[in-house]
Chain A
Amino acid sequence: MHSQTLDHDGTDVFGFWLYIMTDCILFACLFATYIVLNGGMQHTLMLKDFVALPDILIETFLLLASNFTFCLAILNLYQSKLKKVQFWLMITFLFGAAFIYMELTEFARLATEGFRWDLSAQASSFFTLVGTHGLHVSFGLLWILIMIFQLPLLGISPASKRRLTYLGLFWNFLDIVWIFVFTVVYLMGAL
């Protein structure tokens, strides 16, 4: 049961895992920049005067729910129920899209109320950090759509299982990054 040698697909998934690890380092740099630029410096316009925490709470739950529905899709994949996999992927997509929609409306509201990305280094680091996460989620959404259309072609096969495993790692990783975004950026900012 415990094979000592890695099979080919396993090596591929490990490669993808390493990509995610390097993405972690990218986010670490953005977090470090954000924390440095927000430490001690007082600006006339601070993020906490603009943020609506209940909206952030809803965004957090949208992402958590999409994460859970993706896990349901994986469960159905391993039970070879193709239609249900597609259904849960679709639900995952809707939750993720709602998250992106809320984030974009929030950005637009911040900008119109005066907290623009060119206001200060603090504002730039905020939009870069949260925007990079949002961009990752957007690419994840595109990927989910592609998988929904590709699944009937691949069927329930090792190939489709491998691809959905990649996507699952990526999607889960985005939720983990979001935990730190809402803690470091929004909650610390409001404290």
Chain B
Amino acid sequence: MQAKERHQPDFGTGQKKLSTYLIGLGICTFLTLFAFWIVMSRQFSSLEGFVFIYAAACLQFVAQLIFFLRLNTQTEQGRVNVMSLVFTGVVLITVIIGTLWIMSNLNYYMVH
């Protein structure tokens, strides 16, 4: 049985356990409700709301990566997956922040 379990292909996606998925579901449900409540309760200023909903989104992103995608660094495959994810993150931030920076700069010089 032990030997058989070892030969299960896991593709760098980790062990499959119901408890992990349930924890992930709980965290994601909570964070989603939290983010919607912040906006729908109308008790928060724009800046506070901005900070809270982006924090909730980032936390939920991490929770999804860990509990549903099962990203891990336990195996060689897992490490390669994480490395390519980090590289994509760098490209993503360059594209988004770079675009916003350039466009706001253009906007500034159009006005002034």
Contacts and interface: CB of A to CB of B under 8 A. Distances in A.
Nearest to A171: B68
Nearest to A64: B28
A32 B99 contact: yes
B95 A191 contact: no
A29 B95 contact: yes
B11 A9 contact: yes
A57 B54 CA distance: 16
B91 interface: yes
A13 B107 contact: no
Contact of B25 (A60, A64, A75, A176): A64
Contact of A165 (B11, B50, B68): B11
B81 A14 contact: yes
Contacts of A61: 29, 32
A39 B50 CA distance: 14
Contacts of A60: 32, 36
B25 A68 contact: yes
Given A14-B81, A183-B53, A31 B13 contact: no
A74 B9 CA distance: 12
A50 to B, nearest CB: 16
B100 A183 contact: no
Interface in A159-188: 161-162, 165, 168-169, 172-173, 175-176, 179-180, 182-183, 187-188
21 contacts: A2-B74, A25-B92, A28-B91, A28-B92, A28-B95, A32-B99, A32-B100, A35-B99, A56-B36, A64-B29, A64-B32, A72-B21, A78-B16, A158-B9, A162-B9, A169-B13, A179-B60, A179-B61, A183-B35, A187-B39, A188-B50
Interface of A: 1-7, 9-10, 13-14, 17-18, 21, 24-25, 28-29, 31-33, 35-36, 39-40, 53, 56-57, 60-61, 64, 67-68, 71-72, 74-75, 78, 158, 161-162, 165, 168-169, 172-173, 175-176, 179-180, 182-183, 187-188, 190-191
